[in-house]
A = this chain, B = another copy of it.
Amino acid sequence: MSKEKKLVEAITSRDEDFSQWYTDIVKKADLIDYSSVRGCTILRPHGYAIWELIQKNLDKRFKDTGHENVYMPMFIPESLLQKEKDHVEGFAPEVAWVTHGGEEKLTERLCVRPTSETLFCEHYANIIHSYRDLPKLYNQWCSVVRWEKTTRPFLRTLEFLWQEGHTAHATEEEAMEETIRMLNVYAEFCENVLAIPVIKGQKTEKEKFAGAKATYTIESLMHDGKALQTGTSHNFGDGFAKAFDIRYTDKNNQLQYVHQTSWGVSTRLIGALIMVHSDDNGLVLPPEVAPVQVMVIPVQQHREGVLERAEEIRSRLSKHIRVGLDDSDRMPGWKFSEHEMRGVPLRLELGPKDIEKNQCVIVRRDTREKQFISLDDVEQSIIKILEAMQKDMLRNAMELRVSKTYTAQSIEEIDEICNKNPGFIKAMWCGEQSCENKIKEETGATARCIPFEQENISDRCVCCGEPAKHMVIWGRAY
């Protein structure tokens, strides 16, 4: 059906069917389209523009912390992937294999990168020789492929866009500092740009990255009470360095192994934006990552002077923010719905009566609150409203998380929470993988992280009753 003929269709209610609501949003907010390749989606202009804003914000933070961008090949020879034992075990089952180039069968299969540790390690072994070559602080923006069985737009797709930072350091301490520094960069970015509060913590042995010494994570809570691993930062110690023989000569002329890290976030962040902020009218975007922050919509635009005035205001605003003007010949109500669906933070309505009164109407996407503002200082007023909206969205997301955070003293309690009011569940753990496994089997909840901010909920493991080592955040997760 052609777009201008179709009315803005209602989407499934979020509370009725969260999963269908999510699927409706990704399609009807024009974020993605499906392709004929199973599990691969097309990022449409609106979806890609959000990713560009995420990239721009993160890339600046990476460069401000001394990182440089590079580009590695997308193919990894099978023998290279196999160099680090745990790593290949973790990834080999889910990679795509290239076996033929043109007409010719390859002598060695190549996998399409699921992640690029092995390529960075090979390169580092080539270019790192002396302590003066350290640290190496590299990042790359690219797409990776993981052969997932079930997929869902943004959350789990065969191919996805991401960034992967890979660094090499002279000492264990520096590697650890870097691991935490980048976790903090991610957390700050999520809160201040995406308006998504996160919990920082360490992954358990069971949940850590294949080949890592320790994995750190930021975990966020979606509107349906399920957790999302939003970004990870890994400390590799010298494990990869030993497998790939990455050594440097230190100041005392001794050969030493480097210590490495890697860290990444992906288009999954767009999934988080949807599941944290959006509602039954469609996408809700925090102003910082909204491709259009204000859409000017003329009312009675056929009346003399209305379009001219609307364009004048658009032009004034464009010097400060990302602004659009919808002067198409559709009805204003239709336009309101469409730009709501697409998550435009503010709508600015302007009709003949407004012009007479030297004012315009502003409607916030998150609260749908309506206010009249003077055209004299419309720029300053709008900048203030956008700033307030950005803060309010973070506060609301935080309140949501607080309201859905529970404590549990038994497996039964965890199970009950998961089934009735899912959310983050704080419970004590002895540190044994057998208990972790049992909790997962019986409740479906996994250890999201051992948060840096520990609380003493009880002295005993929620599963076995033995002395507790950590408070863990449990939850069912995407």
Contact = CB atoms under 8 A, between A and B. Distances in A.
Contacts of A138: 45
A130 B96 contact: no
Interface in A35-92: 35-37, 40-45, 48-49, 51-52, 68-77, 80
Contacts of A3: 129-130, 132-133
Contacts of A142: 143
A159 interface: yes
A406 interface: no
A101 B42 contact: no
Contacts of A104: 147
Contacts of A318: none
B70 A42 contact: yes
Given A3-B133, A95-B102, A147-B102, A33 B71 contact: no
A377 interface: no
Given A99-B100, A129-B3, A147-B101, A42 B69 contact: no
A36 B80 contact: yes
Contacts of A161: 71
Contact of A126 (B2, B33, B45, B73): B33
A145 interface: yes
A7 interface: no
A129 B1 CA distance: 7
A122 interface: yes
A97 B102 CA distance: 8
A167 to B, nearest CB: 13
A4 interface: yes
Contacts of A370: none
A67 to B, nearest CB: 9
Contacts of A129: 1-3
A112 B100 CA distance: 11
A8 interface: no
A5 B131 CA distance: 12
A33 B127 contact: yes
Contacts of A316: none
A110 interface: yes
A42 B72 contact: yes
A249 B95 CA distance: 43
A98 B71 contact: no
A103 interface: yes
Interface in A110-138: 110, 112, 119, 122-123, 126-127, 129-130, 132-133, 138
A4 B132 contact: yes
Nearest to A119: B35
B103 A96 contact: no
Interface string A337-378: 000000000000000000000000000000000000000000
A70 B48 contact: yes
A120 to B, nearest CB: 9
Contacts of A80: 36
A35 B68 contact: no
A97 B75 CA distance: 12
A333 interface: no
Contacts of A69: 45, 48-49, 52
A459 interface: no
A94 interface: yes
B112 A98 contact: yes
Contacts of A130: 2-5
Contact of A159 (B70, B75, B119): B75
Contacts of A127: 33
A48 B62 CA distance: 15
Contacts of A5: 130
Contact of A71 (B42, B93, B158): B42
A45 B76 CA distance: 20
A94 B104 CA distance: 10
Interface of A: 1-5, 33, 35-37, 40-45, 48-49, 51-52, 68-77, 80, 93-104, 110, 112, 119, 122-123, 126-127, 129-130, 132-133, 138, 142-143, 145, 147, 158-159, 161, 249
- A-B pairs, top 8 by smallest CB distance, nearest first, are A2-B130, A40-B73, A45-B68, A2-B129, A101-B147, A43-B71, A97-B100, A102-B147
Given A42-B73, A42-B119, A142-B143, 5 more contacts: A33-B123, A45-B70, A97-B100, A102-B147, A104-B147
